[in-house]
Amino acid sequence: MRHAILMTVYKNKEQIGDIINYFGRDFEFYIHIDKKSSLNLTDLSAYAEADNIHIYKEYIVNWGSVNHLKTILFLSKKALEDKKNGYFHLISGQDFPVKTKEYFENDLNTEKDYVEYFDMPTKWWAGSGMERIDRYNFYELFDYKKFFGKVIIDLLVKIQKVLKIHRKKTINQFFEKLYGGSTYWSLTRNSLRYVIEFTDENMINCMKFTFCAEEIYFQTLLLNSKYAGNIVNDNLRYVDWNSGRGGFPAFLDETDYDKIKTSNKLFARKFHENNSEELKKLLTTK
């Protein structure tokens, strides 16, 4: 059985290269570069000839837009095409492994699915999380990371609240119960294949103009399936939501080393090209 690493990236080719080098040729890599990113396929040309590395640039991925979900589903389909791939990890370009390659191969229980999930509605998200799918959120049309885009998206949601506008079709029509959680997961082949085979165009259309659909989609499909009992409610990612160093989640540095190493996590995030280099050295040398 081989592990497949699915990565959605948009910057920092050195970090991407470090992840590839950490796992080496025994792991398979499926990497999607945001189409609007200045990072190009040629930036990863050192790896382009390796037969275990597959690089794509298919979608424009605005933060919060459904295209991130589409990208993840695209990479999942590609990874499932190779029957040698038996276990799948979704990460971003700002993640880094914190367990040894040998741990992944020999000690991880790869008969389990590791997904963070909670019931929706939820206290963890603004508007109970339901406004993510109940209102029209135009992240596909505007870039929320830019001032103008943020103003327009927020204003349009406020107008919908005032006028009591609700979406007519949402993912609710397919499922009695909704779940949310972290984007990132580690899944068995059976569970990932189930998500891909269950997905159809109508379901994806219902996720258009929602907010961070990828934080609802996988959880909802799997928790409403026969694979629900196989899920461990822990995605095995170390994330600091409390300190606020550089944002939320925080950028990790060498002061996080002991907490990371004593955790049971497989990956940690976020790693910054300037702040996190010392931490990365500790993780790869100790």
Domain edges within the chain: 2-120+182-205+233-285
Does 270 sit behind a cis peptide bond, omega within 30 degrees of 0 on the bond before it?
yes
Q: Kindly tell me if the per-residue pLDDT of 286 is higher than 70.
A: no
User: What is the band of 48 on the pLDDT scale with cuts at 50, 70, 90?
Assistant: low
Determine how β-strand 178-180 pairs with β-strand 118-120: antiparallel
**Least confident stretch, 6-10, 113-117, 240-244, 280-284:** 240-244
Average pLDDT of the residues in 67-77? 98
Confidence band of 162 (pLDDT split at 50, 70, 90): very high
Mean pLDDT of 148-172: 94
Question: What are the angstrom distances between the C-alpha of 173 and each of 125, 177, 178?
Answer: 21, 10, 10
Work out the mean pLDDT of the chain and round it to a whole number. Answer: 93
Please answer whether residues 45 and 69 qualify as being in contact, where contact means their C-beta atoms are separated by less than 8 angstroms.
no
Residue 209 pairs in a beta bridge with none
Q: Is the preceding omega at residue 249 within 30 degrees of 0, hence cis?
A: yes
Per-residue pLDDT for 244 more than 80? no
Sheet order of strands, 237-239 included: 95-97, 267-269, 237-239
Residue 193 tokens, joined:
């294949």
User: Comparing 94 with 1, which gets the higher pLDDT?
Assistant: 94
What average pLDDT does range 61-68 have in this prediction? 96
Q: Two tokens at 57?
A: 């640039």
Q: How far apart are CA 98 and CA 284, in angstroms?
A: 8
Q: With bands split at pLDDT 50, 70 and 90, how would you rate the model's confidence at 12?
A: confident
Q: Any bridge partners for residue 33, and if so which? A: 9
Mean pLDDT of 166-186: 92
pTM of the model as a whole: 0.94
Q: Tell which CATH classification among 3.90.550, 3.40.190, 2.20.25, 1.10.1060 matches the domain 2-120+182-205+233-285.
A: 3.90.550
pLDDT of residue 14 exceeding 70? yes
The CA distance from 58 to 75, in Å, is: 10
Q: Where are the alpha helices (DSSP H) in 82-146?
A: 101-102, 131-134
Range of lowest pLDDT (3-12, 47-56, 60-69, 220-229):
47-56
Provide, for the chain, the percentages of residues in helix, strand and coil under a 3-state DSSP scheme, each rounded to the nearest 5: 40, 15, 40
Alpha carbons within 13 A on the beta-carbon side of 134: 15
